[in-house]
């Protein structure tokens, strides 16, 4: 990304938790001057996500990098006046209030656009600005559940959360995308606009290909049938999971068989076409699992898969967070000596905890 693409723009961010702060952190990565506004007596609720860190943990810092911080009590008249003074010259206003809360605070776009006609107002809510759920609170997991996304990532007989906030982070990306598009439009029209991002709509958009397939006569996609014949969830001899993902052509299938020392199955009429492999998916999984189980040890699995994998298919162990953040050359040793998965934290983010605490004490 071009780090200075949004230099000179100012975003007033009064959102909390994940989606809104993630959106504004993306804007900050591009050089936007982001001012985070928090309520007194606790601030952003995400500060308390992990009590171990007493309101300033790693997750909060990651989501609020590249930002300045100020505490304003928006429930009081004076606080509202201070916020409006900031918005009078700002380029972007980002919030995640429920519609009735926003109206009660006098922060609807119709009112703010009179104050600043160039203001781009982005609202992230659970269910959008209209409809029967508009006034209800929304959360990442509720968006996953209502949209059908959760059925693709959990066992419905023993449901569990996915372990990652798909919807919150995707909503943040959608919001940042919409804001930048609005900035481009403003350069042509001179006017700001209102951007409506809802967790439910984002979740549905995230699985739009599945929804489209179903509405056009296809079967409902589930974990059991997505997509058969191309993706294989396997176990090595130590019972550790790994994934194999094939592209659609036969060369990928043949490459997998060669790497797994199953050359005898190349040309087998049972598996000759993509449709046949889809229809016989369970049979193929059983064959592959037996082959890797018989390989003897994890090192042997490495030899026949990782070291012999050609450009025709891809395979990877399924790793947990600790193992994928230590010693991985892609994450830890990029061309510049820093991993691609690690961001250099802007020094401004270090101000966030201090500025917030000082403001709460009335010192700054």
Copy the structure tokens of residue 293. 């189980």
211 and 204 Cβ atoms separated by less than 8 Å = yes
The catalytic residue among 44, 140, 168, 236 is 168
Strand-strand pairing, 67-71 and 313-317: unpaired
168 is catalytic: yes
The CA dihedral of 95, 98, 101, 103, to the nearest 10 degrees, is: 80
Cβ within 8 Å of residue 73, ≥6 positions away = 39, 40, 79
Tell me the H-state helices in the chain.
Answer: 19-29, 58-63, 77-87, 99-104, 109-115, 140-147, 166-189, 199-206, 208-215, 250-259, 274-279, 281-294, 298-301, 321-324, 329-332, 351-361
Candidates 173, 158, 85; CA nearest to 122 is 173
Distance CA 231, CA 311 (A): 16
Copy the structure tokens of residue 282. 């369970």
The CA dihedral of 97, 101, 104, 110, to the nearest 10 degrees, is: 40
Copy the structure tokens of residue 356. 């917030």
Residue with tokens 């702060």: 21
DSSP state of 161: -
Distance CA 123, CA 109 (A): 10
Phi, psi at residue 217, to the nearest 5°?
95, 0
Phi, psi at residue 95, to the nearest 5°?
-150, 160
Residues taking part in catalysis: 168
């Amino acid at each position: 990304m071009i780090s200075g693409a949004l230099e000179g723009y100012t975003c007033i961010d009064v959102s909390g938790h994940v989606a809104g702060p993630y959106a504004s952190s993306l804007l900050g990565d591009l050089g936007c001057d982001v001012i985070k506004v928090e309520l007194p007596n606790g601030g952003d609720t995400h500060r308390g996500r992990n009590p171990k860190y007493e309101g300033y943990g790693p997750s909060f810092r990651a989501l609020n990098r590249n930002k300045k911080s100020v505490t304003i009590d928006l429930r009081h008249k004076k606080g509202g006046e201070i916020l409006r003074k900031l918005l009078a010259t700002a380029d972007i206003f980002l919030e995640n209030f429920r519609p009735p809360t926003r109206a009660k605070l006098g922060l609807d776009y119709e009112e703010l656009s009179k104050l600043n006609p160039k203001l781009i107002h982005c609202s992230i809510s659970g269910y959008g600005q209209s409809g029967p759920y508009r006034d209800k609170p929304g959360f990442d997991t509720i968006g996953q559940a209502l949209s059908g996304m959760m059925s693709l990532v959990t066992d419905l007989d023993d449901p569990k959360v996915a372990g990652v906030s798909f919807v919150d982070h995707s909503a943040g990306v959608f919001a940042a995308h919409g804001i930048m598009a609005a900035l481009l439009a403003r350069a042509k029209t001179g006017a700001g606009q209102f951007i409506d991002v809802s967790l439910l709509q984002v979740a549905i958009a995230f699985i739009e290909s599945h929804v489209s397939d179903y509405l056009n006569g296809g079967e409902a996609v589930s974990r059991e049938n997505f997509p058969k014949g191309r993706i294989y969830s396997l176990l090595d001899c130590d019972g550790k999971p790994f994934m194999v993902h094939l592209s659609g052509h036969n060369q990928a299938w043949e490459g997998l068989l060669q790497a797994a020392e199953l050359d005898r199955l190349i040309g087998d009429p049972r598996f000759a076409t993509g449709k046949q492999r889809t229809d016989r998916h369970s049979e193929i999984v059983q064959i592959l699992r037996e082959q890797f189980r018989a390989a003897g040890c994890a090192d042997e699995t490495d030899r026949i898969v990782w070291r012999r994998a050609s450009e025709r298919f891809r395979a990877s162990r399924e790793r947990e967070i600790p193992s994928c953040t230590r010693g991985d050359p892609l994450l830890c040793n990029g061309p510049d000596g820093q991993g691609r998965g690690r961001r250099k934290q802007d020094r401004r983010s270090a101000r966030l905890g201090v500025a917030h605490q000082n403001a709460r004490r009335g010192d700054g």
